Amino acid sequence: MVLKPIRTSKKVDENGGEEEEEAAAMLLSPASRMFHEPNYNIHILAIMGWKVPLDIDSIKAQILGKLLKHPRFSSLQVMDESHDGSGEMRWVPTTVNVDDHIIVPRLKPIADNIMDTDKLVEEYISSISTTTIDVSKPLWDVHILNVKTSHAEAISVLRFHHSLGDGIALMSLLLSCFRRSSDPNSLPTLLVSSSSSKDKSNLSTSNNRNHMWLYLVKFWLFIRLLFNTVVDVLLFIATALFLKDSQSPFTVAQGFNKSSTRQRFIYRTVSLDDIKFIKNATNATVNDVILGITQAALSRYIHRRYVEGKRKFSVEQMRCRATILVNLRPALGVQAAAEMIEKNAIVIQGNCFGFVIIPLHIGQLENPLDYVHKAKVSMDRKKQSLESQCTFYLLQLFLKFFGFKRATKLAQRVPSQTTLAFSNVVGPLEEVSCSGHPLAFLAPTCYGQPTGLMVHACSYAKNLTFAITVDEGMIPDPNQLGDDFVNSFMLINEAALSKFRTKVD
């Protein structure tokens, strides 16, 4: 999608001349501008399940009172008329009619048939991926599906264009509209990790007696950081130029027209407490466990399609990697976002992220916990590298010297050369409600990305939801893939329980 120039309204100044209002409008950030280039037109979906049917009027009131105070939700994105399609774009404030952004489709499920309703909702959300938001209004909308499914009493889908911001910033803004179910006057809380600072303090304390040894350790860590960074950046460049993953059900085949097919959105929820139990059993992190489950699920799917089928394929020799988008800016935070909304002093946060390419182990392992162990090794290695920062600045250099079109091709080509895109977002620690509607689950995801498979993981209270986006032209049985995530989780959790019982005995 390429935006056509939109003529903005003009006002008369004191001297009788015309002054364009867009002159004082803020420019889109380079990263936000990239999301308007063809083949990189990415939309974010926040799929939310509710424990009660939704009251449309109260949802509208919440949007008017909260979201519309954010400049990006009440502004048009306008191309300068004096430039061509690669010119500058600006945020231009406009009057928003909420009814233009609230969509309530009429779904007619068969009475008392939950399976039929699940399929209707899945089909409807999938159909969203074939549409874009009208550029003559702010680039967001809300779809409300007041039908009961096996997951919730009602479903809503908040859709916004990725140019409005990244998932971290928009998650803080979204949660500022919620309150804790146990305390309607309190905002949700998000987990803040401080493990890295603890590790640094422990290192300094343990080596305080021997300064020479401390300097040697720091020098060695610096050399390792420098070496890993150089290797990772070179692999990133090689991926952009020629290094492609092995052909599998998840990779885009040559000549495949991705834009002609729909996206399927599958979400599966597992216990976050069990995820933490596996984390403790393997001495890993929650992210290690999530990546381990992903490796196990992909291994099950590929083994069924290739090894158990009649196709000849060497799983052990395949190259399989994930492109991870890393946010490089501190999150605004729920409390800060809520205070800024109340004071009408919103700080606009756009997109600020780098790329990390991480290898995945695909294969049948005897011990399911080994998937987590291998994920931990890969993640620990990436923590000793500045790959995300370097890829961010590399992209900025492309923007400066080669323009948006070529920089977008770089940002598009790297994920398209890997097997999948991966992202995770931390949700609220407790159950939350919006205008008296308790939330059942939260599943953020995307469509329009250059990969045929994308996996998002989002925590909410005591659960964690995997949101899996697949191209239906490549993966004909997405629900089976979703079940593979659940089955892989159960196998890994059972292995962790067995390990715990062995220690107790």
**Residue type present at position 482:** G
pLDDT at 403: 80
Instruction: Tell me which of 151, 161, 162, 437 is the catalytic residue.
Output: 162
- For every residue of 245-262, DSSP letters joined together read PPP-TTSPPTT--GGGS-
Q: pLDDT grade, residue 64 (50/70/90)? A: confident
Percent helix, percent strand, percent coil in the chain, to nearest 5: 45, 20, 35
Window from 78-82, 176-180, 189-193, 359-363 with minimum mean pLDDT: 189-193
Q: In what order do the strands lie in the sheet with 140-145?
A: 102-103, 140-145, 154-161, 43-50, 437-447, 432-434, 179-180
CB-count burial class (<10 Å; 0-12, 13-18, 19+) for 472: middle
pLDDT at 486: 97
Residues 101-117 have a mean pLDDT of: 77
pLDDT(233) > 90:
yes
Count each helix (H run) and each strand (E run) in the chain, helices first: 12, 18
pLDDT(205) > 50:
no
How far is the C-alpha of 412 from the C-alpha of 395, rounded, in Å?
11
pLDDT at 108: 73
pTM for the whole thing?
0.86
Residues 86-91 have a mean pLDDT of: 76
pLDDT at 235: 95
pLDDT tens digits, residue range 286-342? 999 999 999 999 999 988 877 655 555 566 678 899 999 887 766 555 555 555 555
pLDDT at 431: 93
Average pLDDT, the chain: 81
Tokens at 325, concatenated? 């988008």
pLDDT tens digits, residue range 440-461? 999 999 998 888 899 999 999 9
pLDDT at 4: 45
Tokens at 481, concatenated? 């893939």
Distance of CA 331 to the CA centre of its chain: 14
- Annotated active-site residue 101? The verdict is no
pLDDT(503) > 80:
no
Among 110-124, 242-256, 267-281, the range of highest mean pLDDT:
267-281
Higher-scoring residue by pLDDT: 375, 342 = 375
pLDDT tens digits, residue range 14-34? 444 433 343 345 888 777 888
Higher-scoring residue by pLDDT: 480, 206 = 480
How far is the C-alpha of 49 from the C-alpha of 458, rounded, in Å?
13
pLDDT at 83: 47
pLDDT tens digits, residue range 339-355? 555 555 455 556 777 89
pLDDT at 411: 84
Q: Residue 114: CB partners within 8 Å, gap ≥ 6?
A: 148, 149, 150
> 3-state secondary structure string, 135-199?
CCCCCEEEEEECCCCCCCCEEEEEEEEHHHCCHHHHHHHHHCCCEECCCCCCCCCECCCCHHHHH
Within a 10 A sphere around the Cβ of 73, how many other Cβ atoms?
Answer: 21
From 463, 449, 377, select the one nearest 419 (Cα to Cα).
449
pLDDT(6) > 90:
no
pLDDT at 194: 44
pLDDT tens digits, residue range 419-433? 999 988 888 889 999
Residues 111-138 have a mean pLDDT of: 86
CB 84 within 8 A of CB 122: no
Window from 178-182, 241-245, 471-475 with minimum mean pLDDT: 471-475
